[in-house]
Structure 1
Amino acid sequence: MTTDHRTQFRGLTLATDLFRWGENSLAGLTLLLMAGLPVVEIVLRVLFNTGIPASSTYVQNLTLWVGFSGAVLAARDDGHLTFFLGRDLFPQGTHNYCVALIAMVSTTVAASLSWAALDFVRADMQSPVVVAGWLPTWAVEAILPASFAVIALHFATKPETALTRLFAFLGIPVAAGIGLFLPMHSPEFLWIALFILFLAAVLGTPIFIILGGGTLLLFQVEGTTAAAIPVEAYRLVVSPSIPAIPLFTLAGYILAEGGASRRLVRVFRAWFGWLPGGLAVVVTMLCAFLTTFTGASGVTILAVGGLLLPVLIESGYRKSFSIGLLTSTGSVGLLFPPSLAVILYGVMAHVSILDLFKAGILPGLLLVTAVCVLGIREAWSKTGPRVPFSMGEGMSALWEA
């Protein structure tokens, strides 16, 4: 490698690192502002009997930035949900072709969504509507086309070989060429495009790309402008109830990272570990508690699964039962407040969130009880010793928690 090539490589690496730092900083800063504004509002009202004008409006619009900056990070780090049902059905030699198709479809759909969002922002630039009395609405909405464009860039540059990168970057002109030969309103174009999307989904394309691409196709076939997609996305995301989702998720993450799960395990084990199946009951209650804050069973499993699985196995529970218990108990807390899943359903279905939580208490308790009974039944056949009850240990665990 010549000196010029080394210099170019170092320059490219530096630019990539700066770009990654900018992505991380934007996501962290927006989340910090979103979580910090309510705290500052509370302090100001307590100390000075005043607050931040339109603070709730700022938080609602910051939700948009938090969500889409997080989507950029997920695209960069392969964090989007995908299916890998069909890739193993193809010969090993076709791996590069599968990657090329995924990259092409992902880049094309992300770039199309960016263009649709740009049309939305351009239209709002002519509108006098402002946020919080001074900030133009289009300035808040600008994150939509920018984030989709960066996501498309990540999808295009992610393949390792030059051929697959070429396919990714050719995604947009290929789609445009198909549109020239087959009118987008024709059934032929729709079926061909839907088949490509289906194949890409089976091979492992992110689910949001499949949903977004299908929506774009159906809108175009019906003659509806694609800008309606970002319009509806903006309307839903800035809803007053949506900020609870990232805020409660952040609270659950802090709770888990702060060692709360370890302290709670000690408390439950000290007070209930002497009972038959007491540890299984502890695990069920702990996972149900954490899921109410994290809002997702996967987050709960990641937070405490690695800690609880060895404890269950060492206590005599079968490995298969322990894994199944952790997997299932990650979902039993979704019906209890302040479950993010219930909040999101209430927002989308326009149903009272309070009524949903009231209606979910009895089914939630029934689920928890059923899982606890299974744990107790399993405990009768295990040979491991139970934890003897100690008032001193119980009080010490409570004090630490």
Structure 2
Amino acid sequence: MFTLKFCLTLAGLCSLVPGHLAEQLSASKDTEHPFSASRRISPYMADFSFDLYRLLVSKSNTTNIFFSPASITTVFTLLALGAKSTTHDQILQGLGFNLTEISEKEIFEGFHQLLHTLNLPGNELQLTTSNGLFIDKTLKVVEKFLEDSKKLYASDTFSTNFEDNEAAKKQINDYVEKETQGKIVDLIQDLHPDAIFVLVNCIFFKGKWEKPFEAELTEERPFHVDDKTTVPVQTMNRLGMLQVTYDDELACWVVKMDYLGNASAFFILPDTGKLEQVETALSRQQFHKWSSNLHRRAVTLYFPKVSISGSYDLKILSDMGITHVFGKEADLSGITEQKELRLSQALHKAVLNIDEKGTEASGATFLEAIPMSIPPTIDFNRPFLTSIYETNTRSILFFGKVMNPSGN
């Protein structure tokens, strides 16, 4: 008996041009709060972010780390729509959802609203998501899975000839390239020869700083990757009023910078030698504490221009309890009634670019009143953490660590 397999692929871009969502999701019927359904799932997504981050650090603590928790959780909960029994429970629990606290219905409603919110038109942010299902033309897919994935996740479905491996790979890569305006090319290098079903999720974020840097002030400065390695990096700087706090207990600066629209970024700068201490302490409670202690003050900020990416084989999620879906024990009979369908590949790529304007030039000039006292200097000239989140849904879109801003 042969085994049917499929590949799950994710692509996340931060500060790059977005694609479009083919069909806008319907508005949530929740009446308590306009974003209550998505906010119900956001704490679990945050916990998953920190757990996955620490897992990736355990595999390599000397490289850049950057991923999209929103993208990964979206596509795996979409997969859970078609999973049953232990396979289903492992996916949701591995993503951090406590099924005694939140129901499966609430989880799917939360992602439905999250995707709807991220894809609202007319926002000052360009922030969109897309989901593509590439299904072998010979595969009979359960109609309810197609209906639910379309209704809840606005998924686009494509008939694919997986017998022609190169043609199938090209079809999927062309879709990703189109959705990313050419920013991600040839995402899939090798498509498993037995693949018959590919899920693709993309999340795109393009934002402008609420208070941009002056490009003419950017200059080359040293960035200390570690005790022995220093690299030259184009570094922005500005003197202005920013939301900051210094955590004496963990020995780190926290700087919050807002984008125009409904997104903000946290940048956490540990003191020299304190990075591991900060990583160990990462939690929802810690972020809440930092947020509560932020205050506006004049600072001189030095911040490197960043161009990094992260590419991951998500079979690493086996270490978080999601095991059956990758093996012979997989029960994905909610996707197809044909037996022994399992997940053969799960790829994720995220890209981060940070420059003076965010992503686009701006003709605006910002003038601020600065106190006469000498402000402190916060110099991001060593490894730091970053978190970019959508403020309405309180969802972490991207999370990572910049060890080397130039991506080397």
TM-score for the superposition, normalised by structure 1: 0.29
Structure 1 or 2, whichever has the larger Rg, is 1
TM-score for the superposition, normalised by structure 2: 0.28
More strand per residue: 1 or 2?
2
More relative contact order in 1 or in 2 (CA 8 Å, sep 6+)? 2
